[in-house]
Amino acid sequence: MKPLLEVEDLVVDIPVAGGDLHAVRGIDLSVEKGETLCIVGESGCGKSLTSLAIMDLLPTKARRHAARIAFDGIEIQSLRPRQMADMRGDRMAMIFQEPMTSLNPSYTIGNQLIETYLAHRRTSTKEARDRAIDLLERVGITAAASRLAHYPHQLSGGLRQRVMIAMSLMCEPELIIADEPTTALDVTIQAQILLLLAELQRELGMAMILITHDLGVVARVADKVAVMYAGEIVEAGRATDVFASPSHPYTTGLLECIPVPGKTAPGARLGTIGGIVPSLVGDVAGCAFRDRCRFAAPTCAEPAPAQTASVGHSYRCWFPEGARMPSTVEGLVHGH
Amino acid sequence: MAAVDHNAPVEAAPSPHRAMLRRALAHGGVTIGAGLLLIIIVMAVIGPFLIAHGPYDQDLTARLVPPIWMEGGSWEHPFGTDQLGRDYLARLLYGARISLMIGFGTVFIAGTIGTVLGVAAGYFGGRVDMVVTFLISVRLSTPLVLVALAVVSIVGGSLQVVVLVLGLLLWDRFAVVMRASTMQLRAIEYVTAARAIGCSTPRILTREIMPNVMNNLIVVTTLEMAHAILLEAVLSFLGLGVKPPTPSWGLMIAEGREVLLFEPWLITIPGLALLTLVLSINLVGDGIRDVTSPEDR
Amino acid sequence: MVTDPPTTAHPVLELRAVSKVYRVQTTMFNRPRDLRAVDDVSLQLHRGDVLGLVGESGCGKSTLSRLLLGLEAPTSGEVLIDGKPMTGTSIRDRARRIQPIFQDPYASLNPRKTVADIIALPLRVHSIGERSDDAKRVTEMMDRVGLPARMLLNYPNQLSGGQRQRVAIARALVMRPEIIICDEPTSALDVSVQSQILNLLMDLHDEFGLTYLFISHDLSVVQHIASRVAVMYLGRIIEARKSTQLFADPLHPYSKALLDSVLTPEIGMGLPETNLGATFPNPIDPPPGCAFHPRCGHAMQRCHKERPPTLREGSDRVECWLHDDLEAEQTRAVDAQRSTAATPDTV
């Protein structure tokens, strides 16, 4: 099947004092209809910029180029701003982390929901209003009709995020990009919102790109995973494969950092990844993880090749899993 | 992007002070403004010692001598003389002192009042805040120029009176800005941490709050300084500021008014001086705002 | 770390029926109403305890920590340190024994001060030691928390998030307090940094014999680090038990829902259905009876009207009608026995 979204060699550069910040450094992605791709990584790895680049919502000074960003066969880069705007909210929608700042505080939620619909569909206000009520009910908001008159500040964080989801669904998009949609919410609400997203996705057959730093979320919702580090995808594959046999030293390191009830003994020392993320300003050469890698070798100063762990599961490392030796390279920073 | 700051290696990031200085030097407005201001200050301080004529020395034989760039000008009086034959350059330089004294004196008084009120209101909140907010509203509903005119005409104009009156009138913006920025910091965790350490309130205000609202204070200071200088010029022009023969720029413009049509330079020279001074102060203020704001993020 | 702490005569920190009520003006014309941010909370921390405090945002966790730090005074009830009531003692005296570590290392350090000044501040405020010894004490503390001495004169903006949190920890520990209130100390950090800070906190706990109140919304972290856990809901402690017991067998339906909501990085588990239908109630207008009943799958008639009693067994406690019949008799008997014996109350 042809993927709904195909991204090839996406690069995002941001000019800063002292050169260009290479925030995203040549990544490939593909999402099929009805599929959930999770992009996981720590702050500053470029995961959010990747999503903004796909939506063409990058900050003005950032520069994007890619061999290909194709949505349903349409090359997004060749679209005029007007055409892209028509696409956003209609065929592809976005959900942000902070529902308070992504809803306009001066309009009622009904107003905002209806506007979204009318912007893309030739239809009556009445019809848009009915659809808004229908969707608010679908995302689990009780007394939906009366909620339309509420302003965002009158709703709790969980409700606001539900409204955001309803708004993103107004035009039945084929692709939803959710950037840390549950990070600002309580754990109890997080589970509900993720469940809701998963159900709606199944029901409507949407594709979803979910951006998160939380491997717990990834494990529970992802079909496919892409692990990002310093602007690159260091490991990608089906979620089952990646979690069953994490292959990049960064992925294994991350998983060791998280206490898992029932598996990690309480009070036991947790795994750590020493060192800090390298600066991405100016030229970045070789494997970006090598300064923090237990297995680093002199070869790692060269760009790491892609290795295949299993069908559809690949990672970027000089050494296949069996061939790794504890590092003898000097100058490793540890403990910070 | 958050990526930029936390990923930068430790050695590459300069200290906040040095980073700010670097940004300030790279900022066109700050360098031009500060340069001009420095020149004006230096000229005001040492200028009068360098020229032969005093600002009050009258020479009725040499009245209304045109400046050097006009026909009939001479190096004896590069900027010419006024109706009483006083050297215009000497008066101009001396007037710079007056303007600067008005500016600095006023913001010193107004800044102290406004900062104390604003920081107190922002930090303590509650009743203190209610009282200060009320005072600010009262002050904002007072017509500035009218009150200044009235007071000066009752008490009589002099440099001290003008400074005092303006100082007591121009504190509102200090109070508003300091109140808002202190309020933002009151709940920030390093202030809570200082309280949990057991720091006294004065210590928290001076060590934790003040250094972090300083940027805003400096910006308001420059704006109000320019404001005060212009107001003094207005008062003096209306004859209710500093008393003649003190060479205030406003007064010089007023005195030149009578011969505006025949000797326009009597007005343009002090007018340009006023414009340059106020512009340079505003450039510095705007620049500091530009330079410091990204740092707080 | 999960082993039982040695029992001393007095708990190092104790809250007895502590409440904090705020007057809230909801709209301009309504009469101000009471918000019970902390409602009748009794807790004990023994030396070496790590008490995990969990609950949703708005449940009163942060107010509780502010009460313990002396930043606010309780409306009723008392806080005792080493068996002595804290009422009347100054925030300065309290500061030497209780110190906080905050969530956001970007907001908890004054950007205008150097690392050395930040860590030395408590020493100066309390005039501990000679000023000339400050540098030594500070570098020693920095070394303990894993900060190289070359960072002494750096400013916070020159440090990473993890390094900043280490500075905050050093500042909290430099006076050698007994109790540390950790308010979400790792929530703002990246996963790889979070584990480093947790390891550090566990090491320091053992090294200095510290007692932690560990406030967190991350139950995996709490299970990992805490010896006891208290679950808070709308200002009340609705369950407090040994960590191992609570995580193995939560008694309160809310505790169970919280545990079920934890998303561990394990594949094939799917998403939990917590059935916590409604959202967190408005603390100004709490539901009658058991405050949790609108969200509870087990709510009975009684839960709508009467607030469940606090059932105690040793230092364990739970507030739920489901467990009333089982344990109430026994608990009441124990309580009666205790009050006649006039032994120190161990809630």
Is the pLDDT score of A329 beyond 70? no
Contact B3, C144 (CB under 8 A): no
| Alpha-carbon span B170 to B176, nearest angstrom | 11
> Looking at the DSSP assignment, which residues form a beta bridge with residue A230?
none
Burial of A270 (0-12, 13-18, 19+ CB in 10 A): buried
C276 CA: distance to closest CA in chain A (Å):
7
Residue C106 sits at the chain A interface (C-beta within 8 Å)? no
Q: C102 contacts in B (CB within 8 Å)?
A: 189, 192-193
Residue whose tokens read 């995020």: A161
**Percent of all residues in chain C with a pLDDT value above 70, rounded to a whole number:** 88
| Alpha-carbon span B266 to B289, nearest angstrom | 36
Q: Where does chain A have alpha helices with state H?
A: 47-55, 81-87, 99-102, 109-120, 125-138, 144-147, 157-169, 187-204, 215-221, 239-244, 249-257
Select the residue from A20, A21, A61, A183 to test the B interface by mutation, using most B Cβ atoms within 10 A: A21
Q: C191 contacts in A (CB within 8 Å)?
A: 42, 213, 215, 254, 257-258
Question: How does DSSP classify residue B204?
Answer: I
More confident residue, A12 or B240: A12
Cβ count within 10 A of residue B125: 14
Nearest-CA neighbor of B247 among B279, B270, B280, B272? B270
Chains contacting chain A through 3 or more C-beta pairs under 8 A? B, C
**Could you tell me the two tokens for A13?**
């550069």
- Residues near B264 by beta carbon (within 8 Å), at least 6 away in sequence: none
Looking from the CA of A274 toward its CB, the CA atoms found within 13 Å total: 13
When pLDDT is cut at 50, 70 and 90, the band that residue A100 belongs to is low
C22 CA: distance to closest CA in chain B (Å):
14
Residue C25 sits at the chain B interface (C-beta within 8 Å)? no
B136 CA: distance to closest CA in chain A (Å):
28
Q: What per-residue confidence (pLDDT) applies to C91?
A: 79
Please give the interface size between A and C, counted as residue pairs whose CB atoms are below 8 Å apart. Answer: 143
When pLDDT is cut at 50, 70 and 90, the band that residue C347 belongs to is very low
Domain covering A5-91+171-323, topology:
Rossmann fold (3.40.50)
Chains contacting chain B through 3 or more C-beta pairs under 8 A? A, C
The interface residues of chain B toward chain A in range 7-66, judged by CB-CB distance below 8 A, are 7-9, 12
- Residues near B47 by beta carbon (within 8 Å), at least 6 away in sequence: B93, B96
Q: What per-residue confidence (pLDDT) applies to C102?
A: 92
Give the pLDDT confidence of C188-221 residue by residue, as tens digits: 888 888 999 999 999 999 999 999 999 998 899 9
Average pLDDT, rounded, for chain A: 87
Q: State ipTM.
A: 0.85
Give the pLDDT confidence of A85-98 residue by residue, as tens digits: 888 888 999 988 87
R_g of chain B computed on alpha carbons: 23
> Looking at the DSSP assignment, which residues form a beta bridge with residue C80?
C14, C85
How many Å from the N-terminal Cα to the C-terminal Cα in chain C?
Answer: 22
Is the pLDDT score of A331 beyond 50? no
In this structure, of A74-88, A274-288, A322-336, C136-150, the range with the lowest mean pLDDT score is A322-336
Tally of residues, chain C: 347
Residues of chain B with pLDDT under 50: 1-11, 294-297
> Looking at the DSSP assignment, which residues form a beta bridge with residue A306?
A316
Is the pLDDT score of C329 beyond 60? no
Q: Which residue of C has its CA nearest to B5?
A: C157
Q: What per-residue confidence (pLDDT) applies to C344?
A: 42
When pLDDT is cut at 50, 70 and 90, the band that residue C278 belongs to is low
Domain ranges of chain C: 105-176
E strand or H helix at A20: strand A19-31
Contact C249, C242 (CB under 8 A): no
Handedness of CA C227, C233, C237, C239 (dihedral sign): negative
**Could you tell me the two tokens for A91?**
């065929």
- What three-state secondary structure class fits C101? strand
Q: B3 contacts in A (CB within 8 Å)?
A: 21, 23, 43-46, 280
Nearest-CA neighbor of A167 among A97, A116, A128, A126? A116
Please give the interface size between B and C, counted as residue pairs whose CB atoms are below 8 Å apart. Answer: 84
**Could you tell me the two tokens for B224?**
């109000």
Average pLDDT, rounded, for chain C: 84
Residue B193 sits at the chain C interface (C-beta within 8 Å)? yes
Contact B232, B99 (CB under 8 A): yes
**Could you tell me the two tokens for A300?**
């790692």
For chain B, domains (ranges, CATH) are: 16-296 (1.10.3720.10)
For residues A15-25, give the mean pLDDT. 87
By Cβ distance, the residue of C93, C111, C125 closest to B212 is: C111
Give the pLDDT confidence of A162-210 residue by residue, as tens digits: 888 888 888 889 999 999 888 877 888 888 888 888 888 888 889 999 9
| Alpha-carbon span C195 to C191, nearest angstrom | 7
Q: What per-residue confidence (pLDDT) applies to B47?
A: 80
Q: Could you give the angle at the alpha carbon of A309 between the alpha carbons of A307 and A311, nearest 5°?
A: 105
Domain ranges of chain A: 5-91+171-323, 99-170
| Alpha-carbon span A44 to A280, nearest angstrom | 10
